[in-house]
Chain A
């Protein structure tokens, strides 16, 4: 049982990162819990699924989360840029549905640098942009050893890193101590 390298997680401040895969929500909430502070969650209005405050209460206090419903991706990016630049928010999570061009990605990076806050884009698989600082692929994993009601074993793959190495980790969120625990992968 050991911690993740602090150079890799929590993701570097004043940068925008990307995450994809079915475990992206967990990654976003874990990051929010580690960074501490206000979170802005930007998503498009048509999205039928909804993050559940009764579910993420194990990660962060819902009072620190602000939800923004936007019309389309252009609005999402505008809101995210404004929030990152203001510095009032420590983590901006945005749901993207289309791939990001170089200009948009660079503008997000500059905004994050000006506001000294972290941005995280939840992207569809394989639609990453070149400007992202890191890109993760996260997926839940069945935990055959851990006999518990609510195991949260995840497989986190770092598939892009501008300033370091890549890697794969199996992690579990411990709600009691509110920390991320790295476990060795399950033997087949």
Chain B
């Protein structure tokens, strides 16, 4: 080999990963399948063993499967969750060796060179893997070989263990599809009579390359170890936490703030390198008596500027009881968001920053969700023509377009005594007697039938702007479908 150590690769294939993941939580003996909607057809995506015994196969239309097997239980597949589960398995597999990568959507590949003896040799390691995975409720097929391609071939085509240095004898009876060739190439090879990998090795190389391109022989060489093929392990997720242990306990606010500043500088450098910004921060203060206190900070905007974050911590840190002193500080960014580097502009960005810091400070007192702003919405229903969104999680937007004047203040409709379709001459509202001086209208607004709204059950509304001699300018509406008058708003 390339470096003197005999390279050994394990390929794990989970043929029923998606359905096993569901059945682990709710085991059942009935045929079970997961369905995936592809181009408007529900197809079977992953089946358990009982469903396969009934003659079902992946890719089969769901309605056909129901006809074959009436007691089939199904659920829609969540591909994202499957991917997450595979990453968890990938992390688990690092107990065998540090070099673990993903293999497609349902497999793992492990480079176990030099670590097999820790588990009592290769046989011991494989049986340990199998025991643990079976106990976890996963069906698995394992291949072990010198190369990644050979291990894959063995895992997918009838499991096996290739002895070191001799890939060919283990592979030669496997079909050519085991070389991970595309469907078209493997069919063409089969038609030529090259059904097994052994046939391919025996065939002259030049005509094969001329006919099928360099890919076939490259895969073959990778399988027998004449060409290298790497394994890419998953990168560790970045860890946004720093800590500081002090030789002497501290108790003054100014000291704690100074310590926090040092930690913030380190953390923000880390965030800057990753182009991330902190959205939520937690500082844990450990006291001499082993007790600890946490101060949480939620920011209105992702930030990574220590000079801006530090004053925001002040309110939380002044409330901490230092006891006999604090001897360890730990600062963690509990929530991070992408914050790409931005071009500096001549427009004063400083003013905006002040407002965001203010929102953060107020948010620590009343909750960040209670600080809101208005955003325009596309509806002619007065109470749905705007959205109230949390200011910390939305950007200000303009673009209000309303042809007719709208009241300055809206309230839930308050009924008044009147029935005729024209605005009443006199009416009582909020214990005031009002006289209509001028009425403008009607403006008819129809309910949005595609949305369920209890307030609009009474049907159409004819809105009138009524000016009273007493001064109040009110927004009244009449509901012709169930006669009645209501006051809904007040104009300027």
Interface residues of A (CB under 8 A from B): 22, 25-26, 29, 38, 45, 48-58, 61-71, 75, 78-79, 82-83, 86-89, 139-144, 149-152, 154-155, 173
Distance of A112 Cα from B409 Cα, bound (Å): 27
Chain B's interface: helix, strand, loop or mixed, by majority?
mixed
Decide: B408 and A52 in contact? CB cutoff 8 A: yes
Given A38-B355, A55-B410, A86-B357, 5 new contacts (CB under 8 A): A53-B400, A63-B397, A86-B361, A89-B358, A155-B471
Distance of A115 Cα from B304 Cα, bound (Å): 26
Partner of A141, one of B355, B388, B405, B471: B471
Decide: B491 and A55 in contact? CB cutoff 8 A: yes
Q: Determine which residue in A22, A48, A54 has the highest number of CB atoms from chain B within 10 A of its CB, and name it.
A: A54
- The 27 listed contacts between A and B (C-beta, < 8 Å) are A22-B471, A22-B490, A50-B410, A51-B408, A55-B410, A62-B386, A62-B398, A63-B397, A63-B398, A66-B373, A67-B388, A67-B391, A68-B370, A69-B370, A70-B366, A79-B362, A79-B365, A86-B354, A88-B355, A88-B358, A140-B471, A142-B467, A142-B468, A143-B467, A149-B405, A149-B440, A150-B465
Partner of B472, one of A22, A25, A67, A155: A22
Known: A71-B366, A78-B365, A79-B366. A55 touches B407 (CB 8 A): yes
Q: Which residues of A contact B438 (CB under 8 A)?
A: 142
Distance of A148 Cα from B370 Cα, bound (Å): 39
Distance of A26 Cα from B388 Cα, bound (Å): 21
Q: Which residues of A contact B440 (CB under 8 A)?
A: 149
Q: Which residues of B contact A173 (CB under 8 A)?
A: 492
Interface residues of B in 432-481 (CB under 8 A from A): 437-438, 440, 465, 467-473
Decide: A82 and B373 in contact? CB cutoff 8 A: no
Decide: B405 and A82 in contact? CB cutoff 8 A: no
Q: Is B382 an interface residue (CB 8 A)?
A: yes
Q: Which residues of A contact B397 (CB under 8 A)?
A: 63
Distance of A55 Cα from B410 Cα, bound (Å): 9
How many interface residues does B have (CB within 8 Å)? 49
Looking across the interface, which residue of chain B has its beta carbon closest to that of A87?
A: B354
Q: Determine which residue in B357, B397, B398 has the highest number of CB atoms from chain A within 10 A of its CB, and name it.
A: B398
Decide: A52 and B412 in contact? CB cutoff 8 A: no
Q: Which residues of A contact B382 (CB under 8 A)?
A: 52, 54
Decide: A25 and B373 in contact? CB cutoff 8 A: no
Distance of A87 Cα from B354 Cα, bound (Å): 8
Q: Is B351 an interface residue (CB 8 A)?
A: yes
Decide: A50 and B355 in contact? CB cutoff 8 A: no
Decide: A56 and B408 in contact? CB cutoff 8 A: yes
Q: Which residues of A contact B468 (CB under 8 A)?
A: 142
Q: Which residues of A contact B351 (CB under 8 A)?
A: 88
Distance of A140 Cα from B400 Cα, bound (Å): 25
Decide: A67 and B358 in contact? CB cutoff 8 A: no
Distance of A48 Cα from B412 Cα, bound (Å): 7
Decide: B408 and A68 in contact? CB cutoff 8 A: no
Decide: B373 and A140 in contact? CB cutoff 8 A: no
Partner of B386, one of A53, A144, A149: A53
Q: Which residues of B contact A89 (CB under 8 A)?
A: 355, 358
Looking across the interface, which residue of chain A has its beta carbon closest to that of B385?
A: A54
Q: Which residues of B contact A55 (CB under 8 A)?
A: 405-410, 489, 491-492
Distance of A51 Cα from B374 Cα, bound (Å): 10
Least CB distance, B446 to chain A, in whole angstroms: 18
Q: Which residues of B contact A22 (CB under 8 A)?
A: 471-472, 490
Distance of A70 Cα from B359 Cα, bound (Å): 13
Least CB distance, A124 to chain B, in whole angstroms: 14
Looking across the interface, which residue of chain B has its beta carbon closest to that of A71?
A: B366
Looking across the interface, which residue of chain A has its beta carbon closest to that of B387?
A: A53
Closest 10 interchain pairs by CB? A63-B396, A88-B354, A49-B411, A54-B406, A55-B408, A53-B374, A140-B471, A152-B492, A69-B370, A67-B372
Distance of A1 Cα from B465 Cα, bound (Å): 27
Q: Which residues of A contact B396 (CB under 8 A)?
A: 62-64
Decide: B410 and A29 in contact? CB cutoff 8 A: no
Q: Determine which residue in A38, A67, A143, A152 has the highest number of CB atoms from chain B within 10 A of its CB, and name it.
A: A67
Decide: B357 and A50 in contact? CB cutoff 8 A: no
Interface residues of B in 341-390 (CB under 8 A from A): 351, 354-355, 357-359, 361-362, 365-366, 370-374, 376, 382, 385-386, 388
